[in-house]
Amino acid sequence: MNGHGTLAADSASVDYTLLERQVRALLDGEPNFIARAANFAAFVYETLPDLNWAGFYFPDERGLVLGPFVGRPACSPLPPGRGVCGSAFVSRSTQIVEDVHAVADHIECDAASRSEIVVPLMDKGVCFGVFDIDSPSPARFTRDDAAGVERLVGVFVEIVSGNAGARHESGDLARVLALGRAHAALIGDLASDIDSLLDATAIAVTLSHLDTLLRAHLTFEHEWLFPRLARGENALLRKRVERLNGDVADLAEQWDTFRETWRDASTIAADTAGFRREWNAIARAIDGCLAAERDDLFVAAEPLIQH
Task: Identify which of residues 100 and 244 has a Cβ nearer to ligand SME in the complex.
Answer: 100
Binding of ligand SME at residue 134 (CB under 6 A)?
yes
DSSP 104-156: TTPPPS-TT--EEEEEEEEETTEEEEEEEEEESSTT---HHHHHHHHHHHHHH
CB of 74 to ligand SME, least distance (A): 4
- Alpha carbon 34 to chain centroid, angstroms: 20
DSSP 191-252: HHHHHH---HHHHHHHHHHHHHHHHHHHHHIIIIIHHHHHTSS-HHHHHHHHHHHHHHHHHH
Mark residues 164-183: x for contact with ligand SME by CB under 6 A, - for none.
--------------------
Question: Which residues make Cβ contacts (< 8 Å) with residue 94, sequence separation at least 6?
Answer: 88, 117, 118, 119, 120, 146, 149, 150
Scanning 78-86, 164-172, 240-248, 283-291 for contacts with ligand SME by CB under 6 A, the matching segment is 78-86
The strand pairing partners of 66, in sequence order, are: 57
Task: Identify which of residues 111 and 236 has a Cβ nearer to ligand SME in the complex.
Answer: 111
CB of 132 to ligand SME, least distance (A): 5
**Binding-residue total with ligand SME (CB under 6 A):** 14
Give SS3 for 61: coil
Nearest to 19 by CA among 38, 58, 46, 37: 46
Scanning 73-81, 138-146, 148-156, 254-262 for contacts with ligand SME by CB under 6 A, the matching segment is 73-81
Scanning 20-28, 106-114, 232-240, 255-263 for contacts with ligand SME by CB under 6 A, the matching segment is 106-114
CB of 98 to ligand SME, least distance (A): 13
Among 85, 96, 173, 190, contact with ligand SME (rule: CB under 6 A):
85
Identify whether the C-beta of residue 180 lies closer than 8 Å to the C-beta of residue 207: no
Residue nearest to ligand SME (CB): 83
Binding of ligand SME at residue 83 (CB under 6 A)?
yes
Q: Using DSSP, how many helices (H) and how many strands (E) does the chain show?
A: 10, 5
Task: Identify which of residues 47 and 113 has a Cβ nearer to ligand SME in the complex.
Answer: 113
Scanning 77-85, 142-150, 156-164, 202-210 for contacts with ligand SME by CB under 6 A, the matching segment is 77-85
Identify whether the C-beta of residue 202 lies closer than 8 Å to the C-beta of residue 229: no
CB of 71 to ligand SME, least distance (A): 7
CB of 124 to ligand SME, least distance (A): 25
In angstroms, rounded to a whole number, what is the distance separating the alpha carbons of residues 106 and 292? 60
At residue 216's C-alpha, the angle toward residues 215 and 221, to 5°, is: 95
Binding of ligand SME at residue 122 (CB under 6 A)?
no
Give SS3 for 67: strand
Among 27, 37, 41, 84, contact with ligand SME (rule: CB under 6 A):
84
Site of interaction with ligand SME (CB under 6 A):
53, 74-75, 78, 83-85, 106-107, 109, 113, 116, 132, 134
